[in-house]
Amino acid sequence: MIKTIFTLIGPKRRNQMLALIPAMVLASLMEMVGLTMVVSICASFTDSTWVEKNPVMLWLRGALRLQSEASLTTVILLGLITLYALRLPYLAWENYMAVKFVRINRHEVSARLCARIVNSPYLFFTRHTTAELQNLLGQDTQQFSNGLNAYMRLFMEVMVVLGMGICLLLIDPAMTLFLGAGIVALMVLVRVILVRPIRRASQRQRDAYRRQWKWLHHIVSGIKDIKTGRLEDYFAAHFTVASAECARSDYLRQFWINLPTLCIESVMVLTVLLYLLFFVRSGRNLVDSLPSLSALAWTAVRLLPACSRINSSLTEINYAKPSVEAIRLAMEETAPKEQPRPILQEETDRHGSIVLDHVSFTYDGEAHAVLRDVEMEIPIGASVGIVGPSGAGKTTLLDILLGLLTPDEGAVLIDGVPVTRYDDRMLGRIAYVPQTTFLLDDTIRNNVAMGVEPERIRDDLVWDALEKAALTDKVWDLPQGLNTQIGERGIRLSGGERQRLGLARAIYQNPALIVFDEATSALDLKTESAVMDSINLLKGQKTLVIVSHRASAIDHCDRVYRVEDGKVVREK
């Protein structure tokens, strides 16, 4: 667990964590000094010769040139007052640094994991649901933070317990061993009994939160279908079941954390009382043993919360293990991998075009190839249509063309050069307009120029893109113009307006190639005609690839390819 956490936080943060150790050690030393002073003060009240019996006190009185034991006791009391006056701001600072360290590490792990996920190959997203990724970046990173915080608290409290235990051992070894044996035995027993229930409860919590995220995502994404189908109760019921399981796992988690604390409190009190009973029955002098008893009382007051926090930290660590392991596996799965250079079956001298050269592709776990030995040429500036039945491989063909999938055999060539040898700026000159346009819950301006920082957006280019997409009149009529909020998933726009906004976005990017994937199939004939008029205006200015079931969408294409049974055949 420690090794995994150290790997996740990185060398810089590991060094910072190690740098906090001296601060924790100093806190432990403050506790030891405080306990020593308390014992000394109690001894001074019960034994007039306590200074002569203690070589440290003799040295201190001589060093300070004090004339009486009363003066020495006064100095020790003032020292104890000063120690605890300084202890409060010091421990507050130490706690601030520890909490800051934990929260920053959660942020950095979450941000790094998000960056890796976003930059993962397209196939990664076909293997993981939205709910899984939300749970990973939300609940799991929170549990990682809890586990790291628990380790920090554990180390701090162990240092305090060790420091006070050493002092107590020097004062009264029998009492220390008696008390320590009882506490350690209980903590070991509690850990052995609770480790499996805690781990199971943690896994149930992860599963419950994932289901809760899943049903919430279903509700938000499909609210129109839910409303029209009168399915509100069905989806609300499933969300309620997942939410109830989350609540159950949360209160079970808190129960497992609190239960050992209650046990430790009871055992510690019983251990102290048993020791006092043994003390009384042994016939020892109460006055002579007052320093030892005061040390026992002082230590019990400090050890009780410290031992409780140690046990709580151990419980949090066990609870965090499944989440930390999930983050580790996700980091490994999304680690950047070196892309192999494509193997070309033959060299080509065709330039000024995009070429799929003997491309084949098979999805993981599938027995048969989706595409086999595909040869296809898209001349620069041409308009190319792609048709074929559902499931024939059109989407896979487009994903390869867009660079989302890497062919198992063959390569995609641009101007005769394999696409993997171009940098991201070149690949970024390909725009994609899908059947359902992805829209931000933001302004029209930020949707057209998606991915560009607001201060760098050029309104003249935004208006030009809107004009070419036949949306200028609509936006001019809006009270806030480009600053109009379109709502989540563009709910305040019609279907045709959403598609044309997606087209405007593609135009704003100034791409060399625009790919339309069934971009008009969900529209009525009138709206489709308007959108296709906007697309046809780009003919000759941009290279266009249009995938559609409708003949009207590809009538004006220079070339038409049919995809069927894994093969691609030119029809026009």
3-state per-residue secondary structure call for 280-348: HHCCCCCCCCHHHHHHHHHHHHHHHHHHHHHHHHHHHHHHHHHHHHHHHHHHHHCCCCCCCCCCCCCCC
Place of tokens 């050029």: 458
pLDDT higher than threshold 80 for residue 67: no
> What is the pLDDT, as a whole number, of residue 425?
47
pLDDT higher than threshold 60 for residue 198: yes
> What is the pLDDT, as a whole number, of residue 423?
47
Q: Looking at residues 379-399, what average pLDDT do you find?
A: 85
**Of residues 397 and 309, more confidently modeled:** 397
Per-residue tokens: 419: 């696409």
Quote the distance between the C-alpha of residue 535 and its chain's center.
41
- Residue 549's identity, in one-letter code, is H
| Residues contacting residue 155 through CB under 8 Å, at least 6 positions apart | 21, 24
Is the distance from CB of 205 to CB of 253 less than 8 angstroms?
A: yes
Place of tokens 């954390």: 257
Query: DSSP letter at 54?
Result: -
pLDDT higher than threshold 80 for residue 320: yes
Is the distance from CB of 250 to CB of 205 less than 8 angstroms?
A: yes
Place of tokens 């760098």: 456
- Residue 562's identity, in one-letter code, is R
Q: Looking at residues 248-270, what average pLDDT do you find?
A: 74
Residue 284's pLDDT band (cuts 50, 70, 90):
low
Residue 164's pLDDT band (cuts 50, 70, 90):
confident
Residue 205's pLDDT band (cuts 50, 70, 90):
confident
Q: Looking at residues 23-33, what average pLDDT do you find?
A: 76
Residue 352's pLDDT band (cuts 50, 70, 90):
low
Among 501, 557, 550, 545, smallest CA distance to 524 is for 550
Q: Phi first, then psi: what are they for 376, rounded to 5°? A: -155, 140
> What is the pLDDT, as a whole number, of residue 345?
40
pLDDT higher than threshold 70 for residue 213: yes
> What is the pLDDT, as a whole number, of residue 511?
83
> What is the pLDDT, as a whole number, of residue 147?
87
**Of residues 300 and 80, more confidently modeled:** 80
Helix spans in 334-414 (H)? 394-401
Among 501, 493, 406, smallest CA distance to 449 is for 501
Is the distance from CB of 446 to CB of 486 less than 8 angstroms?
A: no
Residue 475 backbone class (left: φ over 0; alpha: ψ -120 to 50; beta: rest): alpha
**Of residues 480 and 265, more confidently modeled:** 480
How does DSSP assign 334-393, residue by residue? TS--PPPPPPPSS-----SEEEEEEEEE--TT-SS-SEEEEEEEEETT-EEEEE--TTSS
Place of tokens 């994903």: 399
* CATH code matching the domain that covers 353-570, chosen among 3.40.50.300, 3.30.200.20, 2.60.40.10, 3.10.580.10: 3.40.50.300
Quote the distance between the C-alpha of residue 447 and its chain's center.
26
Neighbouring-strand partners of residue 385: 546, 560
What does the mean pLDDT of the chain come to?
78
Among 238, 227, 239, smallest CA distance to 491 is for 227
> What is the pLDDT, as a whole number, of residue 90?
85
Residue 44's pLDDT band (cuts 50, 70, 90):
low
Positive or negative, the CA dihedral 19, 20, 26, 28 is: negative
> What is the pLDDT, as a whole number, of residue 98?
85
- Residue 528's identity, in one-letter code, is E
Q: Looking at residues 275-304, what average pLDDT do you find?
A: 65
Residue 380's pLDDT band (cuts 50, 70, 90):
confident
Among 260, 237, 247, 126, smallest CA distance to 191 is for 260
Q: Looking at residues 4-24, what average pLDDT do you find?
A: 83
Where in the chain are the domains?
2-332, 353-570
Its pTM surpasses 0.85: no
Residue 28's pLDDT band (cuts 50, 70, 90):
confident
Query: DSSP letter at 481?
Result: G
Per-residue tokens: 207: 């599963």
Q: Looking at residues 289-306, what average pLDDT do you find?
A: 66
Among 406, 328, 324, 322, smallest CA distance to 360 is for 406
| Residues contacting residue 223 through CB under 8 Å, at least 6 positions apart | none
pLDDT higher than threshold 80 for residue 363: yes
Question: In this predicted structure, which of 98-112, 316-330, 537-551 has the lowest mean pLDDT?
Answer: 537-551
**Of residues 431 and 264, more confidently modeled:** 431
Residue 501 backbone class (left: φ over 0; alpha: ψ -120 to 50; beta: rest): alpha
How does DSSP assign 7-37, residue by residue? HHHHHHHHHHHHHTHHHHHHHHHHHHHHHHH
pLDDT higher than threshold 50 for residue 220: yes
**Of residues 347 and 496, more confidently modeled:** 496
> What is the pLDDT, as a whole number, of residue 523?
66
Burial of 273 (0-12, 13-18, 19+ CB in 10 A): exposed
Assigned CATH class of 2-332: mainly alpha
Residue 522's pLDDT band (cuts 50, 70, 90):
low
Length of the chain: 572
Top mean pLDDT of 108-117, 280-289, 306-315 is at 108-117
Beta strand pairing call for 417-418 and 409-414: antiparallel
Q: Looking at residues 550-565, what average pLDDT do you find?
A: 82
Residue 294's pLDDT band (cuts 50, 70, 90):
low
pLDDT higher than threshold 50 for residue 346: no
Neighbouring-strand partners of residue 371: 361
